[in-house]
Amino acid sequence: MTPPAHPSPADPDRLPPTPAQTVGPFFGYALPFPGGARIAVDGEPDPITVHGLVLDGAGSPIPDALVEIWQADRDGSLAGAPGSLRHDQVTSAVVGRDGTAFTGFGRVPTDADGHWAVRTVAPGPHRPGAVPYLAVAVFARGLLHHLHTRIYLPEHAEGLRAQFPDLPEGRLGTLLAQRERAGVYRFDIRLQGERETVFFDFP
Partner 1 sequence: MSRSPRTSIRDGATQREIDAAMAAADRVGPPDPHHPNRDYPPYRSSALRHPRHAPLPVVDPEAVELTGPVFGVTDVSALDNDLTLGQTGEPAGQRITVTGRVLDRTGRPMAGQLVEIWQANAAGRYAHDLDQHPAPLDPNFTGFGRCLTDGDGEYSFTSIRPGAYPWRNHLNAWRPAHIHFSLFGTAFTQRMVTQMYFPGDPLFPYDPVLRSVTDQAARDRLVARYDHQLSLPEWTLGYRWDIVLGGPSRTLFEDR
Give the chain's end-to-end CA distance (angstroms, integer).
Answer: 27
CB of 141 to Fe ion, least distance (A): 10
Q: Which of 52, 70, 176, 185 binds partner 1 (CB under 8 A)?
A: 70
Please check whether residue 191 is in contact with residue 143, taking contact to mean a CB–CB distance below 8 angstroms.
yes
Q: Identify what 186 binds: partner 1, Fe ion, none; CB under 5 to 8 Å per kind.
A: none
Binding residues for Fe ion (CB under 5 A): 24
CB of 87 to partner 1, least distance (A): 4
Query: Which of the 8 DSSP states describes residue 48?
Result: E
Q: Which is nearer to Fe ion, 3 or 24 (CB)?
A: 24
Distance, in Å, from the CA atom of 28 to the CA atom of 26, rounded to the nearest integer, reads: 5
Query: Which residues, 6+ apart, have CB-to-CB distance to 54 below 8 Å?
Result: 61, 62, 65, 67, 110, 114, 116, 138, 140, 188, 189, 191
Distance, in Å, from the CA atom of 149 to the CA atom of 173, rounded to the nearest integer, reads: 12
Beta bridge partners of 66: 109, 139
Q: Identify what 135 binds: partner 1, Fe ion, none; CB under 5 to 8 Å per kind.
A: partner 1
Distance, in Å, from the CA atom of 84 to the CA atom of 106, rounded to the nearest integer, reads: 8
Query: Does 36 engage in binding with partner 1 (CB under 8 A)?
Result: no
**Residues between 13 and 32 with contacts to partner 1, criterion CB under 8 A:** 13-31
- Helix or strand or coil: residue 15? coil
Query: Does 34 engage in binding with partner 1 (CB under 8 A)?
Result: no
**Residues between 178 and 197 with contacts to partner 1, criterion CB under 8 A:** 191-193, 196-197
With CB under 8 A as the contact rule, which of the stretches 41-49, 99-107, 114-122, 180-188 interacts with partner 1?
99-107
Please check whether residue 44 is in contact with residue 121, taking contact to mean a CB–CB distance below 8 angstroms.
yes
Distance, in Å, from the CA atom of 174 to the CA atom of 29, rounded to the nearest integer, reads: 31
Q: Which is nearer to Fe ion, 126 or 141 (CB)?
A: 141
With CB under 8 A as the contact rule, which of the stretches 44-52, 54-62, 151-159, 179-187 interacts with partner 1?
54-62
CB of 181 to partner 1, least distance (A): 27
**Residues between 122 and 181 with contacts to partner 1, criterion CB under 8 A:** 123, 126-127, 130, 133, 135, 137, 139-148, 164, 167, 171
Q: Which is nearer to Fe ion, 24 or 193 (CB)?
A: 24
